[in-house]
Copies of this chain bind each other. A is one copy, B any other.
Amino acid sequence: MAAKKLTIKEIAKLSGISASTVSRAINNHYDISPETKRRVQEVIDKYGYVPNNSARNLKLNDARNIAVLVKGITNPFFTSMIKVFERECTSHNYSLVLEHVEESQDMTEIAALLEKEKRLNGIVFLGSNPIQSSERLKRLAAPYVFCSVAVTDRKKFSRYAYVSIDDRREAEAVTDYLFACGRKRIAILCADREDISIGSLRLEGYLNSLKKHGIEPDPALICRSASAEETYTHENGYQSTMKLVRSGTAFDAIFAISDSIAIGCLRALRENGIEVPGQVSVVGFDGLPIGKYLVPSLTSLRQPVEEMAEASMQALLAMIAEREREEEAAASGRSRTAGEMKKYQQIFSGTMQERESCRKDM
C-alpha cells in the first residue's frame, strides 16, 4: 500500500528499460525482442501494473468501443438484448460499454460524455427515445442506432437509424385477436396520460382496433398507470386491475401493454375469484420468457428480441464501416439524407404467443 503510483516510467526504471520500450512490449509491437518483452512482463506481473486507460484513450484514436445506453436496466425485456450485444461486440472485436442511465438523466448528454471519454465507435440507444434533444444528437460524432424505441412517426425518424416493432400495429393486432376470440368488452392497462412513448402508441393501436370493430371506447375500460415510473410494474397491473374490478364495470378481456403489468393483473383477477381465461382473457405484450412459467401461462405478443438486437448491431457496424470509408475518402462533411438512412431502418413484426391466459371461444 501507499506504494508509489505505478506508471509506465516506474516499470521502465524497475526493469532498466526505457518507457517507450515498455509501452511497445505491452502493446505487442512487432519490433520488440522476445527477451525484453519477457523481462518487462515479469516486472509487470511482479508489481501488478495496469496501464492507465485515461492516458491511453487520450492518446489513441480507435478504442474499438461500442456503448449501449439503457434507461431502466431493471427491465427484463432489455437484459436478453444486452446478452446479444455482448456476444456481437466481442465477435467483432469491440468492447461493450454498458451504461445505465437514470430516469432523470438525459441520454444524449451521457452519450456525449461517454463518446469523449471512451472514444466510442458507435452507440446503441436502448429503449428510451432521445430524439427530442435532436440538436445534441447531431453533435454526436459516432454513429448511433435506436433500438426498441417508439417510432411515433416515420417521417420524424427518417434521418435516424432504428430497429423496432410497430407498436401501434401490434397493439391493434392484440386487440383484434381478443375480438376474434369472441371477447366484447376489452379493457386496457396502459401508461399514464403524459406518456408519449410506446405506451401511447399501444393505446392508439387498441383504439384503432375498437374503431375498426365499430365499438365506442369506454373510458372505464382504459386503465392508466398513476405515474410514469410505475407504469411497467407488477404493482401497476395489480392496482389497476383491482380498481377496474371494484368499479363494477363489466369486462371479459384485458390487454396489458407489457408482460410485467400482466403479471400483477393475473394476480388481482385471481384474488377476486375471476377465472382466467374463462371469465376474463388476458393478453400481455413483449413475450418475456417468464410468461411460459406463469400460472396460467401468459398469452402475449412476442417481440423478436434477439433478432432485433442483432439487427441493431448489424446496422451500427455497417454505419461504422461506412464512416471509416468516408474518412479515408476525405471527409465529405455532409449529413446523411433520409434516403441513405433507409437501409439502417427496420421494423420487425411481433407474433402472438398463444398460451393459457386467453381462450378462443367463437
The chain A residues found within 8 Å of chain B, CB to CB, are 1-2, 48, 50-55, 57-58, 73-74, 76, 79, 82-83, 86, 98-100, 102, 112-113, 115-117, 135-136, 139, 141, 234, 237-238, 263-264, 266-267, 270, 289-290, 292-295, 297, 331-335
Q: Quick check: B50 and A1 within 8 Å, CB to CB?
A: no
Are B332 and A2 neighbours in the complex by a CB distance under 8 Å? Answer: yes
User: Which B residues lie within 8 Å of A117 (CB)?
Assistant: 52-54
B-chain residues with CB within 8 Å of residue A116 when the two chains form the complex: 50-54
Highest count of chain B CB atoms <10 Å: which of A50, A52, A289: A50
Q: Is the CB of B238 within 8 A of A333?
A: no
CB pair B52–A58 under 8 Å, yes or no, is yes
Q: Give the distance to chain B from A267, nearest Cβ to Cβ, in Å.
A: 4
Using Cβ atoms and an 8 Å threshold, which residues of chain B touch A295?
266-267, 270, 294-295
CB contacts (< 8 Å) of A76 on chain B: these are 74, 76
- Highest count of chain B CB atoms <10 Å: which of A2, A53, A54, A270: A54
Contacts of A266 in B (CB 8 A): 293, 295
- A–B pairs, 9, beta carbons within 8 Å: A1-B141, A48-B135, A50-B112, A54-B57, A55-B58, A73-B98, A234-B290, A234-B292, A294-B295
Cα distance A234–B76 when bound, in Å? 13
Q: How far is the CA of A57 from the CA of B56 in the complex (A)?
A: 12
Residues of B within 8 A of A57 (CB): 54
A14 to B272, CA, bound (A): 68
